[in-house]
């Protein structure tokens, strides 16, 4: 572990603004591709590309609920909430859930990413990769909020009211979108949002799985998380989170500092993959 983390703690508003603009540009180009292939079979691959760009906004929201994207907390909160609506992932709920994940990483009895999840082998792994568990959990949380019964050890008397009303506002937004989408025949909601995110979610699930799957069940952050060396496009889409061991060891470090931080600690990182294909090949036996 580093004795001095201060050189890596710098934050600003310009870098994340440019990063978000770049991500937005990729989404726009993918949407243009969907539009240009309308009424052809090529529209489905185009919607897949758009979906991948959209669902990887999860990584942007992740940085924002950590307050390690923008220096401004207001900007972090604003964009996290907007992305949360897009991905059925309310920002305050995600923050509470995710901070417990950091606190209890890889602890089967306490890490909320592991509690209640069957061993990811065979059909359970296929269901996980399909996005089924993600959409089921997201829907259940919103319904629980409607009836003021959100569940999880990370739901406390301090955050409970906020999380409940946040979930209810999400449901109201989805109801309005569904109603006006039906009444006004907003087919773009299906073509440019619903179908793409369903198609893209398996790629996000595989990415998230690589962060900890098969790593040690220990509180040593450089042993319970995996670093993946990948290409610049994936690093950009994932907001540098492939340097995941560095992020878990020092969660207060801004995303754009993680590549530098990784250079300083990489000798101590236990689990490393050179590309997501290498990790995917390691799942071969689990998929059977």
Local structure of residue 211 (DSSP, 8 states): H
CA distance 47 to 33: 8
Angle at alpha carbon of residue 55, lines to 228 and 105, rounded to 5°? 50
CA distance 236 to 238: 5
Task: Give me 111's structure tokens.
Answer: 């890490």
Helix, strand or coil, per DSSP, at residue 262: helix
Domain-by-domain residue ranges, the chain?
Answer: 23-287
Sequence-distant (≥ 6) Cβ neighbours of residue 23 within 8 angstroms: 53, 56, 57, 60, 236, 237
Radius of gyration of the chain (CA): 19
Residue with tokens 């292939």: 37
Per-residue pLDDT of the chain (288 residues; tens, 9 = 90+): 677 788 888 899 999 999 999 999 999 999 999 999 999 999 999 999 999 999 999 999 999 999 999 999 999 999 999 999 999 999 999 999 999 999 999 999 999 999 988 999 999 999 999 999 999 999 999 999 999 999 999 999 999 999 999 999 999 999 999 999 999 999 999 999 999 999 999 999 999 999 999 999 999 999 999 999 999 999 999 999 999 999 999 999 999 999 999 999 999 999 999 999 999 999 988 988
pTM for this prediction: 0.96
DSSP 19-48: HHHHHHHHHHHHHHHHHHTTTSTTHHHHHH
């Amino acid at each position: 572990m580093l004795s001095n983390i201060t050189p890596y703690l710098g934050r600003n508003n310009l870098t994340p603004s440019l990063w978000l603009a770049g991500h937005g540009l990729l989404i726009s180009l993918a949407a243009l591709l969907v539009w240009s292939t309308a009424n052809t079979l090529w529209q489905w691959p185009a919607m897949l590309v758009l979906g991948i760009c959209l669902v990887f906004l999860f990584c942007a929201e992740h940085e924002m609920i950590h307050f390690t994207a923008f220096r401004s907390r207001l900007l972090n909160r604003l964009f996290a909430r907007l992305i949360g609506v897009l991905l059925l992932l309310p920002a305050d709920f995600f923050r509470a859930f995710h901070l417990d994940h950091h606190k209890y990483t890889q602890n089967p009895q306490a890490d909320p990413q592991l509690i209640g999840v069957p061993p990811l082998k065979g059909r359970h792994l296929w269901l996980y990769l399909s996005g089924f568990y993600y959409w089921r959990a997201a829907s259940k949380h919103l319904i629980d909020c409607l009836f003021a019964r959100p569940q999880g050890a990370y739901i406390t008397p301090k955050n409970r009211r906020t999380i409940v009303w946040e979930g209810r506002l999400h449901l109201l937004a989805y109801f309005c979108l569904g109603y006006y989408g039906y009444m006004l025949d907003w087919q773009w909601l299906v073509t440019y949002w619903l179908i793409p995110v369903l198609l893209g979610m398996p790629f996000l699930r595989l990415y998230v799985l690589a962060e900890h799957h098969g790593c040690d069940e220990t509180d040593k952050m450089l042993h319970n998380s995996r670093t993946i060396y990948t290409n610049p496009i994936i690093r950009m889409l994932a907001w540098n989170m492939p340097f995941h061991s560095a992020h878990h060891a020092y969660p207060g470090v801004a995303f754009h500092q993680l590549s530098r931080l990784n250079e300083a600690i990489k000798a101590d990182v236990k689990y490393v993959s050179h590309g997501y294909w290498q990790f995917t090949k390691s799942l071969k036996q689990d998929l059977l």
